[in-house]
Every structure is written in C-alpha cells, then in structure tokens.
Structure 1
C-alpha cells in the first residue's frame, strides 16, 4: 500500500509540474492612452540664441503621456505626383566644401524643439533655415508587439504600421 501511495503522490506532482508551463504567459500590452497623431510645423524659420543655437520650439496643446514617443520628419521636396517627401530627423546633410548641417530634435511631455547646427556658420545657408516644414508624429512607445516590424526612418512605413490617416494633419 505504501508503494502505491508513493507512486500516486509522484504521479499527482508530475501532472501538476507539467501543467505549469510558461509557453503562453507572454503578455502583450496594448497602449490604450495614445492615439497616433500627425502635426505639421509649416513654413517656419529657425530662431537663434546663444544657448540653443538655431532652433524651432513648439508647445503641445495637450501634454503627452509618458508612453508617447515623438517622431520627427523634415519635408525635403515633392515627388513627381506632388506628394511630399519626408526625411527622418536626426539627419546630417553633407554639403559642398566638407560642410555638414545637422538637424536634431528633443521633446518633453509639453513641447518639442528642433535644432539646426553645423561644422560651419549655418547662417550662410539660409535655404536650410528658412521656410522649413516639419512633420511631428506622435505614436505609442510600445505598439503592442514584441518585435514591431516598422522602419521609423520611413514616414510612409510609420503611417501604414500605425494606421494613421495623415489627411487629417493638424498644425502645431
């Protein structure tokens, strides 16, 4: 009887141990507080001060959630069909004579700043400082999948992945 009791006890523990697996416990969280938004900063000129250099500053109408991420794109021209061509920032433009112009940005939950700097006096190339258009895309930091297969440097890839209707762009 002792033998059967021991075998039965081992069988119960074996079944309990095998039924506890972690294969289906991967939790995928969905960010429900962020709705992807596209904002434009149209035809603006960079300002200058000694602290920031050349910059553009904008305040969000509503503070961002801690789980929001800002993606930034600069309009570099138009395609043959008239649609805009967007280039991701940060970006270094390699100009003549070894000159390099850098566009960069940073953001807080309340605002975004875009910077232009270079290894030369960038005021000598006003075409890169004046009448610039930028597109700000707000997306959730965690899109809900472990391996989000999106190229954030490609504006159209981001728009498709997050199912953003960019015909409803708002100005910032």
Structure 2
C-alpha cells in the first residue's frame, strides 16, 4: 500500500511539474551599459612541430641533442612529444606516407634490446639510445640519418584527455599544423 501511494504521489508531482500555462508578455529591454576600456589583446599560444635528422655515434654518446631556438617559446607546463620516422609506405596513388611512432620505442635485435628514448626540459630535447649490449655493434640503418618529429604541445591542448598522442596526425590536427609548416633541421 505504501509503495502504491508513493508511486501515485510521484506521478502527480511529475504531472504538476510538467504543466505549462500560457506564455506571459515579453519583459522590458535592459539599459545599455557603458563600454569598458579596451584591454590588451591576448596572445594565441600555438604549439610547434620540428623535424630533426641526426646520427647516433660513439662521438655523441649515442644521443642527439636539440636546443630550442629563440623563435620557439616553450613553457615549463608544455608537453614535449618525440616521434621516430619508423618507415615510409605508399598510399593508393603511389605517394609516400610516413609512419611515425611515439617514443620510447623498443626493438628486439639479435644482439639484445635496443630502445630509442628521450627526455626534455623547456630549453631542449635529448634523444638517445639505450641497450643491454654494445651500441657500436648496431648497423647504420639503426643509427644513421634518423628522423625525429618533436611536437611542443601547450598544456591546454592536453588537458581534455581526448587527444591521442600516439597519432602524430591527431596531434598536428589539434595544433593546426600542416606538413608544409614543419621546420626541418639537420643535426651535425
């Protein structure tokens, strides 16, 4: 009995809540307020994407060091992502398509495990090789003329949690950057 009266009471309440009467007359327009003083325009913080090409050797301790130039402003809260050009394939028209992989990347070789890794500050990025074997035994295909794509993402771009950082095209889309906009740097 209690349940039946509770259900009936809820239905009656729902009925009264959902009822509407005729629409009333429109209200008065408000008075225009005073215009405020124009402030300074804000800055539009955009991310950057840079391609660097370098060679790992015993001379550079199997690391490639890239210092951000003055033209690229990186804040402590920004996120730096580094991608390795893993391979190049072709699309249906025979045009080349780059295959990028987010670092760190581990390869299983005959000699053991090889990892391409990186660390960064808001001044620079260091990309380096780590292994459980002597790196001097690596073939040139694993060390010479390696291409990396460095993406500088403002903290705001990463806060939504919906950005797929493993997909360089997704990252570039969020930053509004096209292939032609990417600065290319060849390291010595």
TM-score of the superposed pair, with normalisation by structure 2: 0.65
Determine helix, strand or coil for the equivalent of 2:74.
coil
Q: Which runs of 5+ in 1 are unaligned?
A: 1-31
**Does residue 141 of structure 2 align to residue 127 of structure 1?**
yes
1:55 pairs with 2:63: yes
Alpha-carbon distance in 2 for matches of 1:167, 1:94 = 34
Q: Which has the larger radius of gyration?
A: 2
Judging by fraction of residues, say which structure has more strand: 1
Q: Secondary structure at the match of 2:181?
A: coil
Q: Are the aligned partners of 1:74 and 1:89 in contact in 2 as well (CA < 8 Å)? A: yes
Offset of 1:33 from its aligned partner? 5.8
Structure 2 residue ranges without an equivalent (≥5) = 1-42
TM-score of the aligned structures, taking structure 1 as reference length:
0.70
Q: Within 1, Cα distance between the matches of 2:129 and 2:116?
A: 5
Contact 1:74–1:87 (Cα < 8 Å) also in 2:
yes
Structure 2 CA distance for aligned equivalents of residues 58 and 162 of structure 1: 21
Q: How many residues align?
A: 137
Q: Which SS does the other structure have where 1:123 is aligned?
A: helix
Q: 8 Å contact 2:55–2:64 — kept in the other structure?
A: yes
- Quote the offset at 1:132 in angstroms: 0.5
- 1:79 equivalenced with 2:89 (yes/no): yes
Is residue 139 of structure 1 aligned with residue 153 of structure 2?
Answer: yes
User: Do residues 40 (structure 1) and 14 (structure 2) align?
Assistant: no
> Does residue 70 of the first structure (1) align with residue 80 of the second (2)?
yes
Instruction: Give the 3-state SS of the residue equivalent to 2:180 in structure 1.
Output: coil
**What do residues 133-154 of structure 1 show as CA deviations (whole Å, max 9, x unaligned)?**
1111111123275x32121112
- CA–CA distance in structure 2, aligned partners of residues 56 and 171 of structure 1: 15
How far off its partner does 1:92 sit? 0.9
User: Aligned to 2:90, what secondary structure does the other structure show?
Assistant: coil
Report whether the alignment pairs 1:166 with 2:179. yes
Indicate which of 92, 100, 107 corresponds to 2:106: 92
Aligned partner of 1:106 among 119, 139, 143: 119
Deviations 1:96-122 (A, max 9, x none): 36x111111111121111011111112
CA distance in 2 between counterparts of 1:166 and 1:34 reads: 19
Query: Is residue 149 of structure 1 aligned with residue 162 of structure 2?
Result: yes
Q: Deviations over 1:22-44 (max 9, x none)?
A: xxxxxxxxxx66311110112x1
Tell me how far apart the structure 1 counterparts of residues 126 and 98 of structure 2 sit (CA, whole Å): 22
Shift of 1:65: 1.6
